[in-house]
Amino acid sequence: MPSPSDALADLPLRDDLVGLQPYGAPQLDVPVLLNVNENTFGVPADVHAAIVAAVAEAATGLNRYPDREFGELRRNLADYLGHGLVPDQLWAANGSNEVMQQLLQAFGGPGRTAIGFPPTYSMYPLLASGTGTRYVTAPRGAAYTMTPGDTAREVRESGANIVFLCSPNNPTGTALDLEVVEAAYEAGEQARAIVIVDEAYGEFTQDGTPSALTLLPGRPRLVVSRTMSKAFALAGARLGYLAAAPEIADPLRLIRLPYHLSAVTQAVANAALTHAGTLLSNVEAIKVQRDRIVRELEALGLSPAPSDANFVFFTGLEDPRRIWEGLLEAGVLIRDVGIPGSLRVTAGTEQETTLFLSTLRDLL
């Protein structure tokens, strides 16, 4: 019997997909999961009850297709984000990955180029590959920083049609100055580049860290992507969205699958948005644990990056694989992001954070 790889070799797979590996972190059954930046606090009881009631109501009409324009959801998202946004400026899909895939389908594709600034979210090149978009990279500066001048030069020289800016950045947790976003946008003028600011962790930023949402007025090619997976503790619901000029949504209607947001997904998201205050109170508790991790890692002689996310990236490990395995043996799963001397840990509950820190201290 042929092996799976031999069987795959007999299929007419696209040349640009040959040899690629699917995206995904290890899925292991351990007590403390701090590897994929989930909200480990879970859904509060009152929000859970509201979601159950909303899904039950939606279930009575599952014989009908859902609202393909998801009007109620767009109104609720606009109200939640504020910044003077109106429903026509919002678009949603099954996770922010699908949002970005749709943007690449509409504005990328064969003969077009996307640029990213690694280390950054590893789905960007996979999304580009899946849509036939050429993907190029540009270096960051010391401590993984980006400056307006360097960013503008790289965007201009690449001639990119799509620019990915991740802020707070995954895996480093660092936020971008808005001057970097402005510089990238201006540098992409000649190529009419769509500039995507991926703010998946936007709710976790430090006080005083501004959002790229403030830059939307007057910039029709600027897109800010968000998700309900992190702050809203809805990773399993798969709801991502973007804010942009109203005209951005029209090209996305050309390539989205019919009725791409199920009635159940819309019901879950709408119920959660009506309880945003309760969910965001957990965000503040997560930020406390994140800042605690940073302080205690510094006390251990390690070098955590300043974090505006719900995770901490840290360096200074002589043997990160030994540390990762030791934590796993103790029932704590964190993320090896493949950067020498480094690991990344999600900020969990107080108890989860304590177990991570005490185990790490013993291993060091």
Q: Is residue 200 part of a domain?
A: yes
* Measured distance CA(228)–CA(26) in Å, rounded: 22
Q: Is residue 4 part of a domain?
A: no
The predicted model gives 20-48 an average pLDDT of 89
β-strands 303-304, 311-315: how paired?
antiparallel
User: b vs e for 295-319, b when ≥16 Cβ sit within 10 Å of the residue's Cβ?
Assistant: ebbeeeebebbebbbbbbbbbebee
Any residues with CB less than 8 A from the CB of 171 and at least 6 apart, and which? 119, 120, 311, 313, 335, 337, 339, 344
Contact 118, 166 (CB under 8 A): no
Start-to-end C-alpha separation, the chain: 47
Number of domains into which the chain is organized: 2
Any residues with CB less than 8 A from the CB of 216 and at least 6 apart, and which? 83, 85, 89, 222, 224, 243, 244, 245
| Cα dihedral 344/346/347/352 (nearest 10) | -110
Residue 358 pLDDT > 90, yes or no?
A: yes
Give yes or no: residues 86 and 170 share one domain: yes
Q: What integer pLDDT is reported at residue 15 of this predicted model?
A: 84
Domain with 282, as residue range(s), is: 24-44+277-363
The CATH code of the domain that includes 109 is 3.40.640.10
Q: What integer pLDDT is reported at residue 2 of this predicted model?
A: 54
Contact 332, 358 (CB under 8 A): no
Give yes or no: residues 124 and 61 share one domain: yes
Q: What integer pLDDT is reported at residue 16 of this predicted model?
A: 78
Q: What integer pLDDT is reported at residue 184 of this predicted model?
A: 98
Q: Is residue 2 part of a domain?
A: no
Give yes or no: residues 246 and 343 share one domain: no
What is the rounded average pLDDT for all residues in the chain?
95
Give yes or no: residues 304 and 215 share one domain: no
Q: Is residue 14 part of a domain?
A: no
* Measured distance CA(213)–CA(224) in Å, rounded: 6
Q: Which residue has the higher pLDDT, 10 or 342?
A: 342
Strand partners, 256: none
* Measured distance CA(134)–CA(16) in Å, rounded: 10
Give yes or no: residues 190 and 91 share one domain: yes
Residue 104 pLDDT > 70, yes or no?
A: yes
Catalogue the E-assigned strands of 202-273: 222-227, 240-244
Give yes or no: residues 52 and 37 share one domain: no
Residue where a domain terminates, one of 258, 274, 290: 274
Give yes or no: residues 237 and 159 share one domain: yes
The predicted model gives 213-224 an average pLDDT of 98
Q: What integer pLDDT is reported at residue 20 of this predicted model?
A: 75
The CATH code of the domain that includes 330 is 3.90.1150.10
Helix ranges, the chain (H): 4-9, 45-59, 71-81, 96-107, 123-130, 148-158, 178-187, 249-255, 263-273, 276-299, 320-329, 350-363
Strand partners, 136: 115
Residue where a domain terminates, one of 249, 274, 299: 274
Residue 207 pLDDT > 80, yes or no?
A: yes
Residue 1 pLDDT > 60, yes or no?
A: no
Residue where a domain terminates, one of 247, 274, 301: 274
Q: What integer pLDDT is reported at residue 257 of this predicted model?
A: 96
Q: Is residue 11 part of a domain?
A: no
| CA triple 53-261-283, angle to 5 deg | 60
The phi, psi pair for 76, rounded to 5°, reads -65, -40
* Measured distance CA(263)–CA(41) in Å, rounded: 26
Within a 10 A sphere around the Cβ of 139, how many other Cβ atoms? 10
Single pTM value for the model? 0.94
Give yes or no: residues 80 and 199 share one domain: yes
Give yes or no: residues 214 and 317 share one domain: no
HSE value, Cβ hemisphere, 13 Å, CA-based, for 20: 17
Q: Is residue 345 part of a domain?
A: yes
Give yes or no: residues 106 and 206 share one domain: yes
Q: Is residue 248 part of a domain?
A: yes
Give yes or no: residues 197 and 306 share one domain: no
Q: How confident is the model at residue 6 (pLDDT cuts 50, 70, 90)?
A: low
Asked which of 26-30, 126-130, 217-221 is least confident by mean pLDDT, the reply is 26-30
The predicted model gives 23-28 an average pLDDT of 76
The predicted model gives 151-169 an average pLDDT of 98
The predicted model gives 97-121 an average pLDDT of 98
- Cα–Cα distances (Å) from 315 to 90, 145, 323, 337, in that order, read 38, 15, 12, 11
* Residue where the block lists tokens 């509060």: 44
Would you state the structure tokens that stand for residue 137, as one six-digit string?
Answer: 């990279």
Residue 241 pLDDT > 70, yes or no?
A: yes
Q: What integer pLDDT is reported at residue 4 of this predicted model?
A: 60
Residue 192 pLDDT > 90, yes or no?
A: yes
* Measured distance CA(286)–CA(349) in Å, rounded: 7
Give yes or no: residues 321 and 349 share one domain: yes
Q: Is residue 17 part of a domain?
A: no
Give percent of the chain above pLDDT 70: 98
* Residue where the block lists tokens 């696209």: 14
